[in-house]
């Protein structure tokens, strides 16, 4: 029965996303909700409509509302996601300052904690579980927001993450998380058809923040420690590419004595594109494959012992460290 519900949720989300995204695009053009190129950070040739994130959100929640009973955690997810969706829309309209946007991200994170969505690691103090969960959710919201700087990039990195979450949820027998993940995957696939380079619609902050919050929340709702206490490190690999980009950008801007909250073309994707002389679609595909390949360390961490988790984690940290050093000498404007 669960398999039937999952298939229905995926198909409905996919259909709604494919059918509704062109409607969202027309609405954005009609009301001028557009990403205007500025020749500095936004280098696309013509204004591109936002509101893609609204359609991804709608396509995800409708199957959930029809096929699944509401629980405390699910209501918390939808409440927090709705807040971020509205805040993102206002931000897309240039009506909010970064400080106000960050304040509502904190509000969303607190709502999730009050809903019971948090790490539950038995070997650390409860207050530390709360603190780490709070920082994790804020980091993921901003990681997917920051990586959304190239056609299809945030969507392509989010899709393998949702499929990893679906797999882990099935291994844990958590059907609620599995259905949420598969609904999100269906909506992302449908949207990616229009968001792939050359994109005809963007997620906008409303979409990237909601996707980051959903993925970040679902990851920590899963019990990663069935086989070893360090299995929770798998959560880092599920979202490794966006998290690495967030940390990399933060370090690069601080090294240049720039505010880490001001935009600049020093992202992982932009450096990789310039270093290897790739097109936007090739860069997006490369990073999507990299994120998908991290399925291997996720499974090794989940099923292995503590030493497997330690070795896998050190290997991945070294890989991304060398990747960052290799790209760091590429001059960027």
Contact yes or no for 164/185 (Cβ under 8 A): no
Nearest CA to 146 out of 78, 79, 77, 203 is that of 203
Distance from C-alpha of 158 to C-alpha of 190, rounded to nearest angstrom: 13
Which residue do the tokens 């990681």 mark? 143
**Segment 197-252, tens digit of pLDDT:** 888 899 988 899 999 999 999 999 988 777 787 878 888 899 999 999 999 888 88
DSSP annotation string for 313-324: HHHHHHHHHHHH
Q: Which residue bears the tokens 């969706």?
A: 85
How large is the average pLDDT for residues 173-186? 92
- Mean pLDDT check: name the lowest of 30-34, 199-203, 262-266: 262-266
pTM for the predicted model, two decimal places? 0.92
Give the residue among 11, 1, 329 at the shortest CA–CA distance from 182: 11
Q: How confident is the model at residue 38 (pLDDT cuts 50, 70, 90)?
A: low
Residue 228's pLDDT is what?
A: 80
pLDDT digits (tens, 9 = 90+) for 107-156: 999 999 999 998 887 777 888 989 999 999 999 999 999 998 888 999 99
d(CA 75, CA 73): 6
Q: Among 204, 147, 169, which Cα is nearest to 27's?
A: 204
Give the sign of the dihedral formed by CA 59, CA 188, CA 28, CA 207: positive
| Helix, strand, coil distribution of the chain in percent, nearest 5 | 75, 0, 25
């Amino acid at each position: 029965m669960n398999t039937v519900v999952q298939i229905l949720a995926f198909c409905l989300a996919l259909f709604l996303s494919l059918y509704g995204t062109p409607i969202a695009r027309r609405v954005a053009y009609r009301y001028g909700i557009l990403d205007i190129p500025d020749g500095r950070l936004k280098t696309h040739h013509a204004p591109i409509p936002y509101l893609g994130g609204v359609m991804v959100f709608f396509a995800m929640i409708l199957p959930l509302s029809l096929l699944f009973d509401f629980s405390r955690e699910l209501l918390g997810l939808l409440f927090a996601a709705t807040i971020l969706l509205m805040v993102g829309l206002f931000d897309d309209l240039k009506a909010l300052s970064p400080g106000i946007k960050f304040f509502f991200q904190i509000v969303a994170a607190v709502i999730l904690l009050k809903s019971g969505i948090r790490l539950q690691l038995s070997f650390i103090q409860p207050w530390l579980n709360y603190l780490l969960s709070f920082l994790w959710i804020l980091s993921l919201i901003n990681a997917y927001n920051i990586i959304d700087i190239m056609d299809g990039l945030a969507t392509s990195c989010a899709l393998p993450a949702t499929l990893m979450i679906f797999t882990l949820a099935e291994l844990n027998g958590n059907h609620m998380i599995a259905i949420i993940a598969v609904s999100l995957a269906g909506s992302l696939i449908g949207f990616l058809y229009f968001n792939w380079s050359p994109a005809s619609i963007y997620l906008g902050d409303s979409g990237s923040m909601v996707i980051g919050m959903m993925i970040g929340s679902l990851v920590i709702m899963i019990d990663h420690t069935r086989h070893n206490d360090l299995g929770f490190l798998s959560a880092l690999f599920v979202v490794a590419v966006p998290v690495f980009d967030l940390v990399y950008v933060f370090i690069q801007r601080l090294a240049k004595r720039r505010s880490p909250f001001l935009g600049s073309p020093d992202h992982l994707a932009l450096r990789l594109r310039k270093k290897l002389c790739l097109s936007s679609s090739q860069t997006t595909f490369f990073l999507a494959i990299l994120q998908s390949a991290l399925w291997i360390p996720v499974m090794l961490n989940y099923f292995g012992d503590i030493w497997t988790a330690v070795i896998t984690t050190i290997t991945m940290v070294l890989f991304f460290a060398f990747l960052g050093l290799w790209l760091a000498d590429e001059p960027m404007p």
